[in-house]
Amino acid sequence: MFGRLGRFVVQNPWKVIGAWIVAAVALVLLGPSLSSVTNDNQSSFLPHKYESVQANDALDKAFPSATGQTATIVVRPVADGGTLSAADQQKISDLATTVTNDKLTGIAGVQAGQVSPKQNVQLMFAKLTADQGDQKAGSDAIKALRTDLGSKLNGTGLKAEVTGDAAMGLDTQDSSQKATGIVMLATLGLIIILMGFIFRGVIAIVLPIVSVFLVMMVSQPVIALMSKAFGLHVQSFLEIMLVVVLFGIGTDYIVFLLFRLRERLRAGDTIQEAVVTTVERVGEAIASAAAAVIIAFCALALATFKAFTSLGPALAIAVFVMLLAGLTLVPALMVKLGTRIFWPGKKWRRIPSAGPARRAGNLVGSKPLAVTLVSFVIMAGLAVGAVGFKADYDQQSQMPANVESTKAVKDMQNGGFPQGASAATEVVVTSADGKPLDQAAMLKYADRLGAASPEIGGVMPFPAKPGAPADAPKEIVAYNADGTAAHIQVLTKDSPFASKAMAAVNGPLKDLAHSAAPAGSKALVGGPTAALSDIQAANSRDLSVILPVAAALIFLVLALQLRALVAPLYLMVAVGLGYAGTLGASVLLFQNLQGKPGMMFMLPVMVYLFVVAIGTDYNILMISRLREEAREGNSPRQAAALAVEHAGPSVASAGLILAGTFASLMLGGLAMMQQIGFAVSVGISIAAFLMSMFLVPAFTALIGDRAWWPGHKMVAVNRGGGEPPAGRHDEDMVGAGAQR
């Protein structure tokens, strides 16, 4: 099949190139943008079975004006250390009325709230018209609100900062866009340097950049179309992930193709013959590798947390488009460019003398037991650290310190407000029999909730109703029109996204809310902290389902590609060990050395996506070359040595590029991206340099032809002292002869 595809591309290169250009331009001009389907509100990613979602629905039904997106406005003196005078507080009260009367697009109204215990901060609350899941409308409203507040407070000695879910979503998106630009530049610089060093050719540097840009032009509108069609929730950091994944995987595939193309040209093939053979030999390996990645990504569709269900298929689409480009667009460009790909370098003409790859191959072939044991001990040692992994759900701590929503939370804390005031926990009580709730009992109930745990910071009063006297008592319980539903806002002392807050809300507060609800009523606990607790439960469930299913599917791909059962088994064990080792190294750096309270909760899934799935590529390439060398009549140890010598440089080059690409995420300024960048770059390095180049070929050499059972007889058919099959005239024989 791949041979036929290679011949078709060689015969029709301009048609293939033209089809890709037309598709890219058409989709960019006519298709939707990826940013039009992004949404960073994590609570909207949960299914209805979780209590936080049910609480939000109950609140929406009983208090339509209380749901939807909100913003907390923190007003303080411009001068640090100043306090708010009575005149300042009157200005703030008037400001709320003025901004409401401005009728800003997306802002339903603004109310003045309470002054902090230290009298240096006062809160205001803005109600947005956008629904909870409408990221774009919420972001546009926050932008308008910030601009209006800035102009009205200019010269007054006061300043306002806007925080809350919608504001953090906007700041996250802006930070992600800035990070995308930084990561893009770092990635391009890395690819230029490494491809130039590896191939010494100008066109070889430009080829992956042009190819990946075309793939991005095609894949982003396709992902947006699929998201709209199936109602998928796409987070803004997907754009960064696409840059890293496409440049990383795309460059890997191109490196694999260029190495084999150069090998065939050195063996005397014409450019057309070399391209056909390259697609035939490498095409199967990269197709199998891409299939493993796509299957692993698509396994996320089994998740209950919708951020995962959209992330996996979105990345799978991108990888599939990249695979198509690798099998068609890149070979077509190779045909038209010919040997100019390697210009001005001339090393491609010469068969290299013994180098690091040959020495590594000799080590693996001559001492497979020692290499296996050392590799295993290193990986197992790193894996021990994974036992201490702690998930961190603190959304605020992942934000840069210099964005407005983060500054606002810090100012609230400096004023003496509990940090939870930025995102209160919502308790909704509804009458079970349709009768009005007992208001005296509800007040006692609210007081008990405010002291449910040492981590609970009390109950937040509701803002005074418009027109109410300034000294009017604040309500701590709000009722709907007929008194059959009540709304209470409970504050956490710590950040509402911190582990302590989640434990308090999901434990003592939720237990008390359910058990102490007044007779004839039912209580539900919602809000961001409760939603994160539900996300934690969903995440645990998803990992327990996704990882085994993906492992089984990847095993199936390996078994079909290798026509064997034994080799896929120990490959999966090695991949699992690499996964644990990656988490262990990350825990060692961030939790043990840097003292972080935990790792971002999505990190195990990110490591699964990019280390297990993508790292399997290198195993597939190496094990495919091992089988190829064994079929040529080489003994298991000779096959291992030759495989490392010939596939090792491409695996090492691809691993270096991919690890460096992910490491560029650490330059983006987002804590989440720093953890992902470090973890994945370490995991890819383990997969490429330790697992694929040493552990897998060494263990394969140890067990011999049994690795290919039940197809081992096909592999061993040329063994027994006879010459390798006629027709093999590439540099493999030169390398084999040099070693013999």
Domain 1-30+200-351 and domain 69-165 have a common topology: no
Burial of 86 (0-12, 13-18, 19+ CB in 10 A): exposed
Cβ-contact 588, 618 below 8 angstroms? no
Domain ranges of the chain: 1-30+200-351, 69-165
Question: Using an 8 Å Cβ cutoff, are 536 and 393 in contact?
Answer: yes
Lookup: tokens for 298: 């698509």
Residues 618, 554: Cα–Cα separation, whole Å: 13
pLDDT of residue 369: 94
d(CA 392, CA 503): 12
- 10-residue mean pLDDT series, the chain (740 residues): 86 92 89 68 68 87 72 89 88 89 87 86 85 71 90 90 82 74 79 81 85 87 82 68 80 85 84 89 83 83 76 86 92 89 71 74 92 92 89 71 82 82 87 90 93 89 66 79 92 84 91 93 90 84 83 84 85 88 91 84 80 77 84 87 86 83 76 84 90 91 86 54 37 33
End-to-end Cα spacing for the chain: 35
DSSP 474: P
CA 111 to chain centre: 38
Name the nearest CA neighbour of 70 among 423, 484, 479: 423
For 129, phi and psi rounded to 5 degrees? -80, -15
CA distance readout (Å), 15 to 274, 336, 546 = 20, 12, 40
- Per DSSP, what are the bridge partners of residue 163? 72
Partner residues linked to 436 by β-bridges: none
Instruction: Look at the block and give the residue holding tokens 């754009």.
Output: 239
- Residue pair 610/245 in contact (Cβ under 8 Å)? The answer is yes
Burial 707-727 (b: 16+ CB within 10 A, else e): bbeebbeebbeeeeeeeeeee
**Pairwise CA distance, residues 722 & 249, whole Å:** 39
Which three-class secondary structure state does DSSP give residue 73? strand
Q: What would the two tokens of residue 478 be? A: 């709000």
User: Do the beta carbons of residue 313 and residue 293 sit within 8 Å?
Assistant: no
Q: What angle do CA 695, 679, 401 make, to 5 degrees?
A: 170
Burial class (CB in 10 A: 0-12, 13-18, 19+), 225: middle
Q: Which helix (DSSP H) or strand (DSSP E) does residue 576 occupy?
A: helix 566-586
288 close to 564: Cβ distance less than 8 angstroms:
no
CATH class of 1-30+200-351: mainly alpha
Our CA angle for 700, 706, 711, nearest 5°, is 115
Contact 47, 34 (CB under 8 A): no
Q: What is the DSSP letter of 591?
A: I
Quick one: pLDDT at residue 252? Answer: 81
Helices (H), 587-716: 603-607, 614-631, 636-663, 671-685, 696-703, 712-715
Can you tell me which residue has the tokens 């993508």? 614
- The DSSP letter of residue 705 is G
Query: CB-based burial of residue 221 (10 Å sphere; 0-12 exposed, 13-18 middle, 19+ buried)?
Result: buried
Strand 391-392 vs strand 425-431: parallel, antiparallel, or unpaired? Answer: unpaired
Which of helix, strand or coil describes residue 232?
Answer: coil
Give me the pLDDT at residue 716, please.
53
Other beta carbons within 10 Å of 575: 24
Distance CA 517, CA 430 (A): 10
Between strands 391-392 and 599-600, the pairing is parallel
Dist CA 209 CA 196 (whole Å): 13
Our CA dihedral for 635, 638, 644, 647, rounded to 10 degrees, sits at: -60
Backbone torsions φ then ψ of 467, nearest 5 degrees: 90, -5
Q: Residue 65 burial by CB count (10 A; 0-12/13-18/19+): exposed, middle or buried?
A: exposed
**Among candidates 448, 428, 429, 425, which has minimal Cα distance to 437?**
429
Retrieve residue 157's tokens. 């000695």
Q: In the β-sheet with 122-128, what is the strand arrangement from edge to edge? A: 107-115, 122-128, 70-77, 158-163
Buried-state track 583-606, b at ≥16 Cβ within 10 A, e below 16: bbbbbbbbbeeeebebbbbbbbbb
Hey, is 429 helix, strand or coil?
strand
Which pair of tokens denotes residue 38?
A: 């992004």
The per-residue pLDDT for 17 is 92
Q: How many CB atoms lie within 10 A of CB 1?
A: 9
β-strand 70-77 against 599-600: which pairing, if any? unpaired
List C-alpha distances in Å: 419 to 17, 171, 447, 460: 56, 18, 19, 12
Q: Which CATH architecture has domain 69-165?
A: 2-Layer Sandwich (3.30)
- 297: closest CA among 662, 673, 45, 613? 613
